[in-house]
Amino acid sequence: MKRIDIVYGGERFSIGDRDLETLKQEIRSGLATGHHWLVVNDGEGEFHSAYLSISPGVPLALIPVPDHEPEGATEAWDGLGTVSETDV
């Protein structure tokens, strides 16, 4: 897996070099205590730490990004909530 994108508060963040199941377990464990600070990357390229406050009722989306596009893929996420055609 290339990275895991995270949508939080309408903004996109990412985590690299992590396993999806391990990340989900970290979030579940943090929620069990009532609150957890999740360290993520803010931006692209150079790492800039951001700390997301995770607690019950806070919407959070985990989006696994594979190392490569699946065979036959003809659409890509444009980051604006829509799908557009690409030359894959």
Q: Quote the DSSP letter at residue 45.
A: S
Q: pTM here? A: 0.71
Q: Provide φ and ψ at 17, rounded to 5°.
A: 55, 40
Cα–Cα distance for residue pair 38/3, rounded to 1 Å:
15
69 — pLDDT class (breaks 50, 70, 90): low
Per-residue pLDDT of 18-32, as tens digits, reads: 999 999 999 999 999
